[in-house]
Amino acid sequence: MREDQIRRMVRRVVYRTLGRSPRSTTTGGRSLVTESDVAAAERDATLDVPPGALVTPLARQLAMERNVELRTQKPLDPRNPGAGSRVRNSGTPARKRKVAIGADHGGYELKEKLKRCLSEWGYTAIDCGTDSSESVDYPDYAFAVAQMVANGNVDWGVMIDGAGIGSCMAANKVPGVRASMCYDQATAANSREHNHANLLTLGAGLIGNGLAKSILKTWLDTPFGGGRHAKRVKKIDDIEHRYLRSAVPVRG
């Protein structure tokens, strides 16, 4: 099959899953942004996404390939509908949000680059180390970032090691943390919208700097979807609370 045929097939599946026809423009009152919308935008451009819109995985992938920024619009204030002001993250209030960021030796260089990105995007980055490329143990830094998140000292956490897997495991041992390892924009959006992730882990050895930046931006820009997802996230938290109450040791 040709690539365009595959895209059309996937698009039909997405529409059917969302319970809408290909000719409609909204689903359940929420707009849908598809790969066609991204394809219509110029390369290296910014595409404004309506508040609460659903962005398909193909649209996110094409945006990454074309270096198109998907920017969430700020909802109009009903008291001042003519304002029309837009912000980079519709979920970010006026105060600067704090992000704890850490890395082991394998993720040190990427951490330094992403710290600068966070500052450019208007966030306050709290550096939890490491401070050089000398060999260290990733669980120590994953724990430091996770503690900041669990204690409410920051809004979100980011941890970077060689593959992102070990740090995700370590961070998820801290009660109150929902860490997600993401390797593209689709997993970043899903982990936030569906799973209410509050800590992102990245594998510096698996992804490049540009992709890491896109993943982090998507992750921060995507709000939790609530609704049916809230019930499922609560069940995740309930599992954690069950083990905390019983204090049953887990054996490998």
**Ramachandran class of 181: left when φ > 0, alpha when ψ lies in -120 to 50, beta otherwise:** beta
What is the CB-side half-sphere exposure of residue 20 using CA atoms within 13 A?
16
Q: Report residue 193 as tokens.
A: 């919208």
Q: Which alpha helices (H) appear in the chain, and where do they start and end?
A: 3-18, 35-40, 57-66, 108-120, 138-150, 165-171, 185-193, 209-221, 228-246
Residue 194 annotated to the active site: yes
Catalytic choice (194, 196, 229, 241): 194
Q: Report residue 76 as tokens.
A: 């109009």
Q: Report the alpha-carbon angle 106-110-114, nearest 5.
A: 150
Return the active site residues. 194
